[in-house]
C-alpha cells in the first residue's frame, strides 16, 4: 500500500510543476512588447499553448503501449524544447526565430502538459479505483499551484526589469517539469491494489496537508506585492515545506506494513494484539467469500455507464452536451485567465503577478473541493450527480463575469477568485465524469478528446475578445485603456456561461437514472 501512496505523492509533485501555461499572463505583456506583436497575435500565442491539447490523444495512445515513466519523460522533454528555445530566443542566443516559429514552439510546450497530465490521471484512477475522484482531485489541485510556485521563485531570483522576469519564467517553465519528472519517474507506476475502502486515514491526512498548503498559498499570494527579500524567501521556503509534507503518508504506511508483517510472522503478543489479528483474518476470509461470484462493473471495480471507444463516443448526444458544458465553463474560465494580464492593464491595475497568484491559489481550492465533497458525501443519499455539480458551479461563475462590469479593483479580485475556483472545480470533476460516462479502458484517448475543446474555445473566445479590444483601442498603436475594452466581452462570456449551466442541467436529467442507481448501490 505504501507504493500506492508514493505514486500519488509523485503525481502531486508532477502536477505542481505541470501547469506552466497558467503563468502565461504574468509575462504575456512583455512577450507582446519584445516581439512587437498585436493583441490578436498575442492571443494566438495563448491559443497555441492550448492548441497543443488537440494532439493530446497521442499521449493516451502512448500510455497504452509504453511504460508510464517513459511517457512522462517524453512529455517533459517536449516542454524543455518548447519553452527552452523561446528562452534562448529572448536572451539573444538565437536570432532567427519568426513569430510562427514561436507559435509552433508554444504549441509544442502546450502539448507536453497533456503527457504529464495523462500519466497523473492514469496513476490516480488505476491505483485508487474506488476513490478515483478523491485521488484525481488531490492531484489536479496541485496543478493550480504551478503559477504560484514559479512566481515565488521568480520573485526571489530577480527584481529587475519586466523583460528579465519574462525570461526567467520561460527558463523555469522549461527545466522544472523535466527535473521533477526525473525525480518522480521511479515511483510513477500502476500498482496492484486491494479493492476496498481502507484508505480513509491516508486521505484524511492528505486533505489536511492539502488544505493547509492551499491556505498558505492564498495568504502568501496576498503578500506577493511586497518588495522585501526576506518575506519572499520565507514564502518560497514555506511552499517547499508544504510540498514535501505529503511524503509522510507513504512513510507512515511503510511503517505500518513493516509492523503488520512482523505481527503476522512472529505472532508475538509483545508487538501485536492477537485478538485483533484473528478478527482481521476472519474479516479477510469473509470478504473473499462474499466476493465469489460477484461481477464488477469493469476490470478495476467501479460503476460506469458504458465502456466505449472514441469513435462511438463521438456519436453520443451525452458527449456533445458534456463537450459544450466544458467549453462554456472551464474553457471559458481558462480564456479569462489567459487574458488576465491585458484585462488588468486596461483597468490601470499594475499587480498582474498578484492576480495570477490569486487565481492560481483559488484554482487550487476549486480542484480540491469536489474531492473533499466526494470523500464526505459520495455515499450519502444527499449526494448529487456530477453534471448537477457542474451546473451548480457554473452559476456563480456566470455572476462573476457580469461583476467584472464594475470598474473597482475589488470587483476584479472577487471575480478572478470566483472564476479561478469554479474553473478548477469543473476541471477536477471532468476527469471522474469522463470515466463514468464513457468508461476507463479508453480514458487516455477519450478525455484528451474532451479537453480538445480548450484550444477551440481559446481561439474563438480569445480572438473575439482581441477583436473587440482592437476596435475600442487607439487606431495608431492598437492599445486600449478603460472599461470599454472588455465590457462587451464580459457580457458575451457571461451569457455563454449561463448557457453552459442550462446544458449541464440537461445532462443531469439524461444521466439521473444512472446516478440514482449509483447512490443506491453505495
Residue 460: name the closest of 305, 324, 364 by CA. Answer: 324
Q: Residue 192: phi, psi to the nearest 5?
A: -75, 120
User: 305-521: what CATH class?
Assistant: mainly alpha
Q: Which residues have a Cβ under 8 Å from the Cβ of 385 and sit 6 or more positions away? A: 508, 511, 512, 515
pLDDT at residue 253 in the model: 78
Eight-state DSSP code of residue 331: I
Which residue would you say has higher pLDDT here, 521 or 348? 348
> What mean pLDDT do residues 399-411 have?
92
* The pLDDT of residue 387 is above 70: yes
Could you give the CA distance from residue 142 to residue 210 in angstroms, rounded to a whole number? 8
> What mean pLDDT do residues 458-474 have?
83
Sign of CA dihedral 26, 32, 33, 35: positive
pLDDT at residue 521 in the model: 54
> What mean pLDDT do residues 13-39 have?
78
Could you give the CA distance from residue 6 to residue 386 in angstroms, rounded to a whole number? 28
Q: In this prediction, what percent of the chain has a pLDDT beyond 90?
A: 24
Secondary structure (DSSP) of 83-142? HHHHHHHHTTS-----HHHHHHHHHHHHHHHHHHHHHHHHHHHHHSGGGHHHHHHHHHHH
> What mean pLDDT do residues 216-243 have?
72
Q: Which residues have a Cβ under 8 Å from the Cβ of 311 and sit 6 or more positions away? A: none
Tens of pLDDT, residues 75-129: 999 999 999 998 888 888 887 778 888 889 989 988 998 899 889 988 888 888 7
pLDDT at residue 445 in the model: 83
* The pLDDT of residue 179 is above 90: yes
User: According to the per-residue pLDDT averaged within each range, which of 217-221, 229-233, 468-472 is highest?
Assistant: 468-472
- CATH 1.20.1250.20-classified regions of the chain: 1-260, 305-521
> What mean pLDDT do residues 461-467 have?
86
Could you give the CA distance from residue 131 to residue 302 in angstroms, rounded to a whole number? 9
pLDDT at residue 196 in the model: 46
pLDDT at residue 224 in the model: 46
pLDDT at residue 160 in the model: 65
> What mean pLDDT do residues 329-337 have?
90
* The pLDDT of residue 227 is above 50: no
pTM to 2 decimal places: 0.74
Secondary structure (DSSP) of 239-255? HHHHHHGGGHHHHHHHH
pLDDT at residue 293 in the model: 34
> What mean pLDDT do residues 240-247 have?
92
Could you give the CA distance from residue 141 to residue 361 in angstroms, rounded to a whole number? 9
> What mean pLDDT do residues 406-421 have?
91
pLDDT at residue 433 in the model: 86
Which residue would you say has higher pLDDT here, 370 or 201? 370
Which residue would you say has higher pLDDT here, 197 or 168? 168
The mean pLDDT of the chain is: 80
Tell me the CATH number of domain 1-260, given options 3.40.50.300, 1.20.120.1200, 3.40.50.1370, 1.20.1250.20.
1.20.1250.20
Q: Are 431 and 143 in contact (CB under 8 A)?
A: no
pLDDT band at 469 (very low <50, low <70, confident <90, very high): confident
Helices (H), 223-316: 229-244, 248-266, 274-291, 310-313
Amino acid at each position: 500500500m505504501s507504493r500506492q501512496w508514493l505514486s500519488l505523492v509523485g503525481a502531486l509533485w508532477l502536477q505542481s510543476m505541470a501547469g506552466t501555461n497558467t503563468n502565461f499572463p504574468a509575462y504575456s505583456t512583455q512577450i507582446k512588447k519584445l516581439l512587437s506583436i498585436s493583441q490578436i497575435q498575442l492571443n494566438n500565442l495563448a491559443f497555441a499553448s492550448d492548441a497543443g491539447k488537440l494532439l493530446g490523444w497521442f499521449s493516451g495512445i502512448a500510455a497504452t503501449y509504453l511504460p508510464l515513466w517513459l511517457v512522462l519523460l517524453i512529455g517533459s522533454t517536449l516542454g524543455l524544447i518548447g519553452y527552452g528555445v523561446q528562452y534562448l530566443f529572448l536572451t539573444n542566443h538565437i536570432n532567427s526565430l519568426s513569430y510562427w516559429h514561436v507559435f509552433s514552439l508554444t504549441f509544442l510546450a502546450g502539448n507536453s502538459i497533456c503527457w504529464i497530465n495523462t500519466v497523473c490521471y492514469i496513476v490516480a484512477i488505476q491505483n485508487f479505483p474506488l476513490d478515483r475522484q478523491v485521488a484525481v482531485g488531490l492531484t489536479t489541485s496541485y496543478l493550480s499551484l504551478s503559477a504560484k510556485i514559479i512566481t515565488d521563485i521568480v520573485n526571489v531570483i530577480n527584481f529587475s526589469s519586466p523583460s528579465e522576469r519574462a525570461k526567467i519564467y520561460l527558463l523555469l517553465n522549461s527545466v522544472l517539469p523535466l527535473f521533477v519528472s526525473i525525480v518522480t519517474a521511479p515511483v510513477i507506476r500502476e500498482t496492484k491494489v486491494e479493492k476496498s475502502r481502507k484508505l480513509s486515514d491516508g486521505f484524511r491526512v492528505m486533505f489536511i496537508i492539502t488544505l493547509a498548503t492551499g491556505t498558505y498559498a492564498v495568504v502568501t499570494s496576498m503578500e506577493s506585492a511586497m518588495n522585501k527579500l526576506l518575506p519572499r524567501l520565507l514564502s518560497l521556503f514555506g511552499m517547499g515545506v508544504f510540498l514535501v509534507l505529503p511524503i509522510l503518508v507513504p512513510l507512515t504506511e511503510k511503517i505500518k506494513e513493516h509492523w503488520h508483517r512482523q505481527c503476522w510472522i512472529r505472532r508475538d503478543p509483545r508487538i501485536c494484539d492477537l485478538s485483533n489479528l484473528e478478527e482481521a483474518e476472519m474479516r479477510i476470509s469473509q470478504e473473499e467469500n462474499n466476493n465469489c461470484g460477484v461481477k464488477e462493473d469493469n476490470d478495476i471495480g467501479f460503476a460506469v455507464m458504458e465502456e466505449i471507444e472514441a469513435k462511438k463516443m463521438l456519436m453520443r448526444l451525452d458527449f456533445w452536451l458534456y463537450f459544450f458544458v466544458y467549453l462554456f465553463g472551464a474553457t471559458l474560465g481558462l480564456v479569462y485567465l489567459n487574458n488576465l494580464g491585458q484585462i488588468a492593464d486596461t483597468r490601470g491595475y499594475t499587480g498582474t503577478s498578484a492576480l495570477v497568484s490569486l487565481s492560481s491559489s483559488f484554482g487550487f481550492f476549486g480542484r480540491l473541493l469536489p474531492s473533499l465533497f466526494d470523500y464526505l458525501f459520495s455515499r450519502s443519499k444527499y449526494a448529487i450527480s456530477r453534471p448537477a455539480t457542474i451546473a451548480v458551479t457554473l452559476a456563480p461563475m456566470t455572476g462573476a463575469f457580469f461583476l467584472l462590469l464594475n470598474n473597482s479593483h475589488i470587483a476584479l479580485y472577487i471575480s478572478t477568485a470566483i472564476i479561478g475556483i469554479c474553473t478548477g472545480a469543473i476541471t477536477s470533476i471532468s476527469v471522474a465524469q469522463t470515466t463514468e460516462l464513457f468508461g476507463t479502458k479508453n480514458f487516455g484517448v477519450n478525455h484528451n478528446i474532451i479537453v480538445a475543446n480548450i484550444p477551440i474555445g481559446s481561439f474563438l473566445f480569445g480572438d473575439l475578445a482581441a477583436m473587440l479590444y482592437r476596435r475600442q483601442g487607439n487606431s495608431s498603436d492598437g492599445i486600449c485603456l478603460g472599461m470599454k475594452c472588455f465590457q462587451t466581452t464580459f457580457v458575451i462570456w457571461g451569457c455563454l456561461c449561463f448557457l453552459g449551466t442550462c446544458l449541464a442541467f440537461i445532462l443531469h436529467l439524461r444521466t439521473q437514472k444512472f446516478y440514482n442507481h449509483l447512490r443506491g448501490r453505495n
